[in-house]
A = this chain, B = another copy of it.
Amino acid sequence: MNRLELFGLLNKDMNFIEDELYRSIDSREELINDTSLHLLKAGGKRLRPVFVLLGGKFGEYDLHKLKRVAVPLELIHSASLVHDDVIDDAETRRGQPTVKSKWDNRIAMYTGDYIYARALSIVAELPNPAIHHVLSKALVQMSIGEMEQIRDFFNVDQSVRNYLLRIRRKTALLIAVSCELGAMAADAPGHISSLLYSFGYNVGMAFQIHDDILDLLGTEKQLGKPPGSDMRQGNITLPVIYALQQPELRAALLAEINLIREYEDKHSPRAAIELIKKSDGIAKAENLADRYIKKALDSLDLLPEVKTKKTLRDIAHFVTRRSY
């Protein structure tokens, strides 16, 4: 459990959301309870609910309305993770065995389907068509992003733009929508929810870039999985793309990636990681993440002065400094 510890003012409300999360997945089917509970218990930063609540502070903050957005967004995120673990053939996530490894792929697939459906049935209780609209459009984009990820596996010739489009759909959109829907559920004016969308989008982009850097620099203990897992799965991330652009490193790195592709778990990604560390790939990726954070802070500056702004600023800074 490594829930974000930044938000003194939200702790009580986040505990309430945490309880609601567990309540939301309760069914009389034992297997589905076990798998869903296992998934939620594995934890996570609960970043999406936090953003919903913070977004809600820019309007009429009503926790009982906001939970109908906060809980589904975390559920959708969890469902996408359990499906990702099938795709990535991941044995552990956040240091815990994945549903697909503790049970199997088929059970993981239906656990995801169940949690998606639960999420939708909670949102459906909100009589606000605009919220349904925003959320369902985001879901379409997310699923396209998931397919793009498969398409791009081990594609060593992809562009930076390609990578950015992919993480936009994979990560940034749902974080953007979390901020936006929090404001919408609190009936904040349209220009405010738009600014929050923009804040969340840019924070989300930085978050994913930093995540991809951590996968190369972190320890197994910090990551809850072995470093270099992305490369093992064929997920070519930003530092790798930048490193491949350096002529003096390209051939050696390509050879390592090919060995990883060919021998899978039998070839360690250690040598590839060393090559990437030698390159300017990490620095360039960090630089791009910082630019996204700067853009996020620019959006924040345009928002009205509420106490919450400081917390949002803190999160923006935290995103590219965290080691987990």
Binding site for B on A (CB under 8 A): 27, 29, 31-32, 83, 86-87, 105-107, 109-114, 116-118, 120-121, 123-127, 129, 132-133, 135-137, 139-140, 142-144, 146-148, 150-151
Contact present for A83 and B110 (CB under 8 Å): yes
Give the complex CA separation of A131 and B38 in angstroms: 32
Q: Which residues of B contact A143 (CB under 8 A)?
A: 32, 110, 113-114, 116-117
Contact B114 A144 (CB under 8 A): yes
Q: Which residues of B contact A123 (CB under 8 A)?
A: 132, 136
Q: Give 21 CB contacts A-B under 8 Å.
A: A27-B140, A29-B148, A29-B151, A31-B151, A32-B143, A86-B105, A86-B109, A87-B109, A110-B146, A114-B144, A114-B147, A116-B139, A117-B136, A117-B140, A117-B143, A120-B120, A121-B137, A124-B129, A124-B133, A124-B136, A127-B129
Residues of B with C-beta under 8 A to A31: 147, 150-151
- A112 CA / B143 CA spacing, docked (Å): 9
Residues of B close to A110: CB separation below 8 A:
83, 87, 143, 146-147, 150
Oligomeric state, in copies: 2
Q: Do B121 and A140 touch across chains, with their CB atoms under 8 A apart?
A: yes
Q: Which residues of the partner chain B approach A114 to less than 8 Å between Cβ atoms?
A: 140, 143-144, 146-147
Please tell me if the beta carbons of A32 and B137 are within 8 angstroms of each other in the complex. Answer: no
| A216, chain B: closest CB distance, angstroms | 24
Q: Is the CB of A27 within 8 A of B106?
A: no
Contacts of A125 in B (CB 8 A): 133
A66 CB to closest chain B CB (Å) equals 18
> From A32, which residue of chain B is reached at the shortest CB distance?
B147
**Residue on B nearest A88 in the bound complex, by CB:** B106
Q: How far is the CA of A120 from the CA of B124 in the complex (A)?
A: 11
Contact of A140 among B112, B118, B147 (CB under 8 A): B118
State which of B105, B126, B139, B146 has its C-beta within 8 Å of the C-beta of A121. B139
Q: A106-B150, A120-B136 are in contact. List 16 more A-B contacts (CB 8 A).
A: A27-B140, A29-B144, A31-B150, A83-B109, A87-B110, A107-B150, A112-B113, A113-B143, A114-B144, A117-B143, A120-B132, A121-B137, A123-B132, A124-B129, A124-B137, A127-B129
**A129 proximity list for chain B (CB < 8 A):** 124, 126-127
B-chain residues with CB within 8 Å of residue A126 when the two chains form the complex = 129
Instruction: Please name the residue on chain B nearest to A35 by beta carbon.
Output: B147
The 3 closest A-B pairs by CB, nearest first: A121-B136, A117-B139, A114-B143
For residue A79, which residue of chain B has the nearest CB? B113
Please indicate the chain B residues that have their CB under 8 angstroms from the CB of A147 in the complex: 29, 31-32, 107, 110-111, 114
